[in-house]
Amino acid sequence: MYQLKLSQSLIEAQTDDKVQETTVGDLLRQRAKDRADARAIIESNLYGEIDRIWTYRQLLDDSERLAKALASRYAPGERVTVWAPNIPEWVLMEYACALAGLVLVTANPSYQSQELRYVLEYSGSVGLFLVNDFRGNPMAEIAAEAVSGLTALRESVDLEDHEALFRQGSRAADLPVVTAGDAAQIQYTSGTTGFPKGAVLSHRGLTNNARLSTSRAGTHQDSLWANFMPMFHTSGCGMLTLGCLHAGCTMMVVKLFDPGAIIRLIEQEKVTGFIAVPTMLVGLLEAQSADPKDISSMEMILSGGSMVAPELVRAAMAGFKCGYETVYGQTECSPIITQHHANDHIDDLCHTIGQVVPQTAVSVRDPASNRVVPVDTVGEICVRGYCNMIEYHNNPAATAETIDAEGWLHTGDLGTIDARGYVRITGRVREMIIRGGENLFPAEIENSLLEHPDVAEVAVVGLPDPRWGEIVACFVRMEDGQVLDSGALRGFCRQHLSPQKTPKMWFQVTSFPLTGSGKVQKFALRQQFLDGQHTAI
C-alpha cells in the first residue's frame, strides 16, 4: 500500500509504475511472439460447456485476417458498433478494429430498437456487427427496424457468419499505423442519472489501466480469469480482456451468466479469478452453497460497479477462501480509479474502495466551489491522469461540463479520502438527499441496512416533501420468504443511524431497474414512485 499522510483530500499520481505508450494491437502482437502456444481464449457456450479454444498465435492470425477484411471495407477512424453477448467474435472484433485503426462502439445486447438506433446514430457508425438473437431478444429483427433510414450505416453483419464477417471489400487492405493516443472505443455510459453519452477512450488509457489493475490483483501467466462481465462494458472488454492480454494468461469468455454453471466451470477448468458486480457475487455464493464444488483454484475475486456491502465482502472471502479486492471506476476513466491491495486489512476491504491505482491523481472537491476539501470531508470525487477519456463523442458541452480547465474529470460520485489515502463512496452528487438543508448520503444508510439478515438488496432515494424538501425513502428486496416489516427495519436503523438518516418511507420490491452494468437506476425508482407504481408499507 502507499504510505501517505494527507491533510487535504488530494492524492497526487503515484509513480511506482509507468504509463506505457502501448496500443491494443501492439500488445497482441507481442503476446503472439512470446506466448505463441499458450491458451489465450477458451469459450464457454450457453450450456456452460467449453467449446472453441485459441492460442495467442491463432488469436493474432484470426485478428489480423479480420483486420485486413475490415480495412478493405472501412477507412481508419471510422466507427463500427458491436452488438452481441460475450462470444469470441466480440474479442476478435476488438483486436481487429484496433489493428485496422477503427473505433469500436459498444452496445448492450438487451437494447431495443430505439436504444440501438440512438447509439448507431449518435456515434455515426458505418457498420453494425451483431448476432441473430440472444436470450429471447430477436436482435436481427430489432436491428432491421433500428437501422431504417440511417444513411451513414453501410452494412449490418452477422458475427457468426464468418463468410460475411471476413468478406473482402474494394479498398486496399493495408493496416495503418496506430498510436497510443488514438481513439480505440466509444463506450456509451450506462445512464444511472439520464441519457447515455459516448465516452471516447484511447489505446493508452485502456491498455495501461488494464495492466495496472490486473497486476495489482496478482494476475500472472498461469492465471485463468472467467469473463462473464458484459463485453459491452469497460470491465469486460477493457479491464479483463486487455488485462489477460498483458499478462499472457487465459481468459474464459462466458456467454451467459449462470451461477451454477460458472461454479462447475471453476472446478472443471481451475479458474483462478473473476470480477463480479454484487448481484452476481450473491448468485455465485448461493450456487456454491446449494451445490458445493471444489473451488480451491480460486486466487482472487474483484467486485465493484456498485456499493459492495461489508457483509458481502466477508461472505465472499469466506465462501471462496481467496483474496478479495474492490475496484472503483467509471467508464470515462478507462475504467479503474481505485483498488484495494492484496494485503489490505479486513476493515479497509469492507469499508473503503482502496487506494488509487498508479499514475492516477484523485481529489475530493466541494461541488459548489471546486476547492479541495480537508481529509474525511464529503465532496465530489475527481480524477486526473492518462486514464481520462479523450472526450464525449460529438458533445463538447458535456465534455466541458465533466472535465474542468485543470484537467480534473468530475465523476459525479460523492466520497471522502482519509489521511492514508483510502477512499470511501457516500453516494452520487445528484442522488444526495437534502433534508431540511442537511446533506444525507444514501450509501451510508444502505450499508447499515444491508447488515440486517433479512435484507437482500436496498436502494435509498430522496423523495419530494413539502415540509423538508426531500425525505429519505428506502426500496428493499427482502431475502426469500421474508416480508418487509417497516417498524422492525426502522428500529434496526435507529440502532446505527441518527433520526434524520432513518428512512421515512419503505417500499418492498422484487427487483430493481438496473443499468447494463448492474447499477441501480435510482432516478427510475423515484420516477416510478411519482407515477404511482409503488405503495409505502
Instruction: Say if residue 377 is in the same domain as residue 468.
Output: no
User: Going along 305-422, which residue ranges are E strands?
Assistant: 323-329, 336-339, 355-356, 360-365, 379-385, 391-392, 409-417
Residue-range definition of the domain harbouring residue 478: 431-530
Instruction: Evaluate the CA torsion angle 418, 420, 424, 429 in order and state its sign.
Output: positive
Instruction: Say if residue 447 is in the same domain as residue 408.
Output: no
Evaluate whether residue 55 is within a structural domain.
yes
Evaluate whether residue 83 is within a structural domain.
yes
Lowest average pLDDT, out of 109-118, 405-414, 416-425, goes to 109-118
Rg (CA), the chain: 23
Contacts of 106 (CB under 8 A, 6+ apart): 81, 82, 185, 186, 187, 188, 231, 232, 233, 237
Residue 367's pLDDT is what?
86
pTM as predicted: 0.84
CATH code of residue 211: 3.40.50.12780
Q: What is the largest CA-CA distance in the chain?
A: 71
Evaluate whether residue 423 is within a structural domain.
no
Q: What average pLDDT does the structure give for the chain?
A: 93
Burial annotation 140-154 (CB, 10 A radius, 16+ → b, else e): eebbeebbeeeeebe
Q: What are phi and psi of 133, to 5 degrees?
A: -165, 160
Cross-strand bridge partners of residue 31: none
Burial annotation 63-99 (CB, 10 A radius, 16+ → b, else e): bbebbbbbbbbbeeebbbbbbbbbbbbbbbbbbbbbb
pLDDT of residue 191 exceeding 90, the answer is: no
Q: How many domains is the chain partitioned into structurally?
A: 2
SS3 state at 233? coil
Q: How many residues does the chain have?
A: 537
Instruction: Say if residue 26 is in the same domain as residue 100.
Output: yes
Q: What is the DSSP string of 74-99?
A: S-TT-EEEEE--S-HHHHHHHHHHHH
Lowest average pLDDT, out of 56-65, 337-346, 486-495, goes to 486-495
Instruction: Say if residue 41 is in the same domain as residue 117.
Output: yes
Instruction: Say if residue 156 is in the same domain as residue 218.
Output: yes
Cross-strand bridge partners of residue 300: 273, 323
Amino acid at site 118? Y
Instruction: Say if residue 352 is in the same domain as residue 492.
Output: no
Find where cell 474542468 sits.
Answer: 404
CATH code of residue 450: 3.30.300.30
d(CA 106, CA 151): 20
Instruction: Say if residue 35 is in the same domain as residue 122.
Output: yes
d(CA 45, CA 273): 19
pLDDT of 307-353, one tens digit each?
688 889 999 999 999 999 999 999 999 999 999 999 999 999 999 99
Please name the helix (run of DSSP H) or strand (run of DSSP E) that holds residue 503, with its range, or none: none
Q: What is the DSSP string of 431-480?
A: T-EEETTEEE-HHHHHHHHTTSTTEEEEEEEEEEETTTEEEEEEEEEEPT
pLDDT of 19-38, one tens digit each?
999 999 999 999 999 999 99
d(CA 504, CA 445): 12
The 10 Å Cβ neighbour count of residue 432 is 18
pLDDT of 386-415, one tens digit each?
999 999 999 999 999 999 999 999 998 889
pLDDT of residue 432 exceeding 50, the answer is: yes
